[in-house]
A and B are shown apart, each in its own frame.
Chain A
Amino acid sequence: MDNLIDKALVRKVASLARLELSEQEVKEFTGQLCAILEYFHKINLLDTEGIEPLAHCLPITNRLREDQIQPGLDPGQALKNAPDRDGDLFKVPPILEEGLGP
Chain B
Amino acid sequence: MKVQVVVGLEIHVQLSTQTKLFCGCPVRFAAPPNSLVCPVCLGLPGALPVLNKKAVDYAILAAMALNCQIASFTKWDRKGYYYPDLPKNYQISQYDLPLGKAGFIEVQGDDGGIKQVRIRRVHLEEDAGKNLHAGGAYSCVDLNRAGTPLLEIVTEPDITSAAQARALAVELQRIVRYLGVSEADMQKGHMRFEPNVNLRIETDGQAFRTPIVEIKNLNSFRALEASIRYEADRQVQEFLESGQVMTSGNKTTRGWDDVRQVTVLQRQKEEAEDYRYFPDPDLVPVVINTSWLDQIKALLPELPLRRQIRFVQQYGLSEYDAGVLTSDRSCADLFDKAVEAGGRPKRVCNLLTQVGLRVANERGCSVGDLGLSPVNLATLASMIEEGKVNATSGVRILEQMIATGQDPMTLARSMDLLQIADSSRLESIIDQVLSMQQKAVQEACSEGKKAQKAFNFLVGQVMQATKGQANPTVIAEMIRKRLGGA
Contacts and interface: CB of A to CB of B under 8 A. Distances in A.
A99 B140 contact: no
B284 A86 contact: no
A70 B19 contact: yes
Interface string B97-113: 00000000000000000
A95 B133 contact: yes
Nearest to B25: A72
Contacts of A36: none
Given A65-B52, A99-B216, A58 B284 contact: yes
Contact of B83 (A89, A94, A100): A100
Interface string A48-64: 00000001101011111
A68 B19 contact: yes
Interface stretch (B33-41, B231-239, B317-325, B384-392): B33-41
B287 A61 contact: yes
A64 B285 contact: no
B82 interface: yes
Interface stretch (B273-281, B330-338, B421-429): B273-281
A91 B37 CA distance: 17
Interface residues of B, number: 62
Contacts of B138: 86, 91-94
B28 to A, nearest CB: 10
B91 interface: yes
A79 B274 CA distance: 31
B18 A102 contact: no
Contact of B142 (A70, A89, A101): A89
B281 A92 contact: no
B237 to A, nearest CB: 23
Interface in A60-102: 60-75, 78-79, 86-95, 98-102
Given A75-B35, A89-B33, A92-B138, A62 B286 contact: yes
Interface in B38-71: 38-39, 42, 50-56
Interface in B432-448: none
Contacts of B132: 89
B224 to A, nearest CB: 19
Contact of B79 (A65, A66, A70, A102): A102
14 contacts: A16-B276, A55-B278, A60-B284, A65-B50, A79-B34, A88-B34, A89-B33, A89-B141, A89-B142, A90-B84, A92-B84, A94-B133, A99-B253, A101-B83
Interface of A: 12, 16, 18, 55-56, 58, 60-75, 78-79, 86-95, 98-102
Given A61-B285, A91-B138, 8 more contacts: A58-B284, A65-B51, A65-B53, A70-B19, A72-B23, A86-B138, A90-B34, A95-B131
* Nearest 7 interchain pairs by C-beta: A70-B24, A99-B266, A72-B38, A67-B54, A89-B140, A64-B53, A55-B279
